[in-house]
Amino acid sequence: MSISTIVVIGCLSLSTIGLLFYVYWVLPRQIESRLRESLRVFSTAVELRFPNHTGLTDRVLALGLRLGQLAGLSPTELRDLEMATHLRDIGLCAIPYRLVKEKPWLQWTHSDFETYDRHAEISAHMLEITPSLHKLAPIVRCHHAPYDGKTGWFAPNSRAIPIQARILYVVTTYVWFERNLGDLLARDRLVEGRGSLFDPELVDAFLRMLTSKGVRDASEHLAGVP
């Protein structure tokens, strides 16, 4: 075999290795990055339409992923949690604008809360018709579902609720109440709903997590506390 032939074979081998590296390592990460950017657009669009939601997704995502890690979620489950966090509220586009924009939530009636909570089902339906996002539908559908299965318009029983949805319910409730009523009342809300609205183990883990200095400092930074 001539030297030129060996050189050609060597070059082809290197090219093949480079192509395989790109296809199996670089390209998937590029696609993943583009997907994250696209999902962030969805959550940002919701926040632009409903200013009282501004900044909620970033905060929920940071606290939710931390809680997911403490709960032992796998990398794939954490990825699904991240994607569902961005997509959980897209169904708000079908909820009466005046309810969310103009009527203070402390003045909402039981009927108003039921109307608002339907955005979870609407969001899930939107995901079900999108093949690449179909598996996120159960998480999004249940992210306001009560743990005991006894309250709310859609209430599966505890463990039938995906753990990512249970995490989202704990974290989104805390973030919303903290923003409007303060940290202490937000924690009280979780304690009051422990075992009925919220997974008790996740509530306990989340409250312990909030006492961690590192998490508290990050939480204050996200909230804009000096």
Residue 15 lies inside a defined structural domain of this protein? no
Q: Report whether 198 contacts 190 (CB < 8 A).
A: yes
DSSP state of 198: B
pTM: 0.76
Assess if residue 51 is contained within a domain. yes
45, pLDDT greater than 80: no
Establish if 23 belongs to a structural domain.
Answer: no
Residue 1 forms part of a structural domain: no
What is the domain extent for residue 54? 35-223
Q: 95-116: buried (b, 16+ CB within 10 Å) or exposed (e) per residue?
A: beeeebeeeeeeeeeeeeeebb
Residue 158 lies in a domain: yes
Q: Structurally, how many domains does the chain consist of?
A: 1
Structure tokens at 95: 């909820």
Q: Are 67 and 218 in contact (CB under 8 A)?
A: no
Q: Does 203 fall in a domain?
A: yes
What's the pLDDT at 156?
57
Name the pLDDT band for 148 (thresholds 50, 70, 90): confident
Residue 140 lies in a domain: yes
Residue range 48-80, pLDDT digits in tens:
777 777 788 899 999 999 999 999 999 999 999
Cα separation of 101 and 136, whole Å?
A: 27
pLDDT at residue 3, as a whole number: 62
Pairwise pLDDT comparison (152 vs 120), residue with the higher score: 120
Residue 152 has pLDDT above 60, yes or no: no
Residue 137 covered by a domain: yes
CA distance 121 to 154: 9
The mean pLDDT value of the chain amounts to: 78
Output the pLDDT for position 79: 92
- The CA distance from 138 to 140, in Å, is 6
Assign residue 57 the CATH number of its domain.
1.10.3210.10
